[in-house]
């Protein structure tokens, strides 16, 4: 079975089991609520939809390889853990004829999922699904297609503004502008996840297929509204954006294909190729991947 380690700020790497056995031996060990980061589902053949949204290599290594939890990098993800805990304890505040559930487990095509929140009004025939994401402004910019680009500076007459002195004297001045480019929006993984929840609910209760549906992603950004990201078009901590329902056949093809590839890798024991979508390598560089350490070692061996 794979072993999970904690990496402290001192760069000391210690098995989680050792830390739990004698926590006072490690002054850097944080409060108990960090232990969620070390939790790892056992490999039982039942995948979660979020497993299939990872690259196949990342999912394979998550289940099979030793992994290192960098406590400093994991700190921002605690907000997501607390959010799930709060939702899990929430009761229905609405009328008896309105179904409101949080942290609701579903299954579709043999794949498991957990809906953050959904609301069904049987009188008005409305179904609302909310998936909540905590993270940084980068994830929201990626979803919306917010891009920063360098544009020439011009004066009120439309003539180019040039540098008047220094090493760049006579060269064109440029400035960075933020704009919305729908062609750059990357909504795929969100569309897959929320569509999966929708079809799981409809499969269990076919009447919902005829209800008016509202599918949402609720972004809760830890750095939203800060000066550093306001200039990039992100001026708030909270955004609720609509999700496009995928065609059911396309969704089925995608998730079953992902499941088949992960099944093959786990049964054969062969590590899959590096993930095709690493956000221009930012996912690896900034350790948004829990298995980046072992993945990079494998990649170095493959390239040697």
pLDDT per residue as tens digits for the range 235-272: 777 888 999 999 999 999 999 999 999 999 999 999 88
Which pLDDT score is estimated for 222?
74
Write out the residue range of the structural domain in which residue 189 sits.
Answer: 4-145+181-303
Whether 159 is in a domain gets the answer no
Percent of the chain with pLDDT over 90: 28
Whether 81 is in a domain gets the answer yes
Average model confidence (pLDDT) for the chain? 82
The residue with greater pLDDT, 66 or 215, is 215
DSSP track, the chain: ---EEEE-TT--EEEHHHHHH-GGG-TT---GGGGGGG-----SS--BHHHHHS-HHHHHHHHHS-EEEEHHHHGGGHHHHHHHHHHHT----S-TTEEEEEEEEEEETTEEEEEEEEEEETTTTEEEEEEEEEE-HHHHHHHHTEEEEEEE-B-TTSPBPB--SSTTTTSBPEEEEEEE-GGG---HHHHHHHHHHHHHHHHH-GGGGGSEEEEEEEEEESSTTSHHHHTTT---SEEEEE-PPPPHHHHHHHHHHHHHHHHHHHHH-PPPPPPS-STTTHHHHTT-STTHHHHHHHHHHHH-
> What is the domain count for the chain?
1
Which pLDDT score is estimated for 39?
56
Whether 110 is in a domain gets the answer yes
Which pLDDT score is estimated for 140?
85
Which pLDDT score is estimated for 242?
94
Write the CATH number for 16. Answer: 3.90.320.10
Which pLDDT score is estimated for 220?
82
Whether 151 is in a domain gets the answer no
Q: Which of 43-57, 189-203, 287-301 has the highest mean pLDDT?
A: 189-203
Whether 185 is in a domain gets the answer yes
Rounded-to-integer distance, Cα 191 and Cα 26, Å: 43
Give the confidence band of 221 by pLDDT, cuts at 50, 70, 90: confident
Whether 39 is in a domain gets the answer yes
Which pLDDT score is estimated for 191?
96
pTM for the full predicted model: 0.80
* Residues 139-167: tens digit of each pLDDT: 888 889 988 888 889 888 888 899 888 88
Are 244 and 185 spatial neighbours (Cβ–Cβ below 8 Å)? no
Rounded-to-integer distance, Cα 28 and Cα 19, Å: 10
Q: Which residues pair with 15 in a beta bridge?
A: 5
Which pLDDT score is estimated for 195?
98
Q: 129, exposed or middle or buried, with CB in 10 Å at 0-12, 13-18, 19+?
A: buried
Whether 40 is in a domain gets the answer yes
Whether 23 is in a domain gets the answer yes
């Amino acid at each position: 079975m794979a072993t999970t380690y904690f990496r402290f700020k001192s760069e000391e790497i210690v098995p989680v089991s050792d830390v739990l056995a004698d926590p006072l031996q490690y002054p850097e060990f944080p409060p108990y609520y960090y232990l969620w980061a070390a939790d790892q589902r056992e490999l039982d053949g039942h995948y979660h939809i979020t497993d299939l949204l990872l690259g196949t290599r990342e999912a394979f290594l998550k289940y099979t390889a030793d992994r290192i939890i960098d406590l400093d990098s994991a700190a921002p993800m605690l907000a997501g853990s607390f959010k799930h805990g709060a939702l899990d304890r929430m009761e229905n505040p609405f009328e008896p004829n309105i179904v409101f559930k949080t942290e609701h487990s579903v299954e579709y095509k043999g794949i498991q999922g957990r809906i953050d929140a959904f609301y069904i009004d049987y009188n008005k025939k409305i179904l609302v699904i909310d998936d909540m994401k905590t993270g940084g402004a980068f994830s929201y910019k990626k979803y919306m297609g917010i891009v920063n680009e360098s544009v020439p500076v011009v004066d009120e007459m439309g003539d180019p503004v040039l540098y008047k002195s220094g090493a760049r004297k006579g060269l064109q001045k440029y400035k960075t502008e933020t704009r919305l480019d729908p062609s750059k929006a990357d909504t795929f993984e969100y569309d897959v996840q929320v569509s999966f929840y929708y079809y799981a609910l409809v499969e269990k209760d076919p009447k919902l297929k005829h209800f008016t549906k509202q599918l949402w992603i609720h972004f809760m950004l830890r750095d939203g509204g800060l000066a550093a990201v306001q200039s990039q078009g992100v001026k708030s901590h909270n955004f609720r954006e609509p999700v496009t329902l995928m065609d059911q056949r396309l969704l089925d093809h995608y998730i079953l294909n992902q499941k088949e590839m992960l099944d093959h890798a786990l049964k054969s024991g062969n590590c899959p190729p590096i993930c095709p979508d690493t956000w221009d390598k930012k996912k690896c560089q900034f350790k948004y991947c829990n298995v980046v350490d072992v993945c990079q070692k494998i990649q170095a061996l493959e390239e040697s």
